[in-house]
Structure 1
Amino acid sequence: MWTERGQQLIDTVAWVHIVEGQILCARPRGKDVFYIPGGKREGDETDLETLVREILEELTVELVQGSVKHVGTYEALIPDAVVRMACYTAEYSGTIQASSEIDEIAWFTYADRPRVPPVDQLLFDDLLADELLAPR
Structure 2
Amino acid sequence: MESPPIRIAGLALVRAGALLVVRKRGTARFMLPGGKFEGGEGALDCLRRELDEELGVDVAALGLRPLGQFTAPAANEPGRKVLSSVFAAEWGSSETPQPRAEIEAVEWRPLEEERDDLAPLLRLHVLPALRAQP
Counterparts of 2:131 and 2:91, CA distance in 1: 23
Structure 1 unmatched ranges of 5 or more: 132-136
In the TM superposition, 1:5-20 aligns within 5 A as: 6-20=2-16
Structure 2 unmatched ranges of 5 or more: none
Aligned-pair distance for 1:77? 3.5
Deviations 1:22-59 (A, max 9, x none): 00000111111111100000011110110000000111
TM-score for both structures, normalised by structure 1: 0.80
Q: CA RMSD in A?
A: 2.5
Spell out structure 1 runs of 4+ moving beyond 6 A. 91-95
Deviations 1:58-105 (A, max 9, x none): 111111168332111111145432211111124789962111321110
1:118 aligned partner: 120
Counterparts of 2:63 and 2:19, CA distance in 1: 18
Q: Is the 8 A contact 1:65 1:90 kept in 2?
A: no
Q: Is the 8 A contact 1:12 1:39 kept in 2?
A: yes
Counterparts of 1:123 and 1:92, CA distance in 2: 17
Structure 1 range deviating more: 84-93 or 59-68: 84-93
In the alignment of these two chains, the number of paired residues is 127
Percent identity, aligned pairs only, is: 28
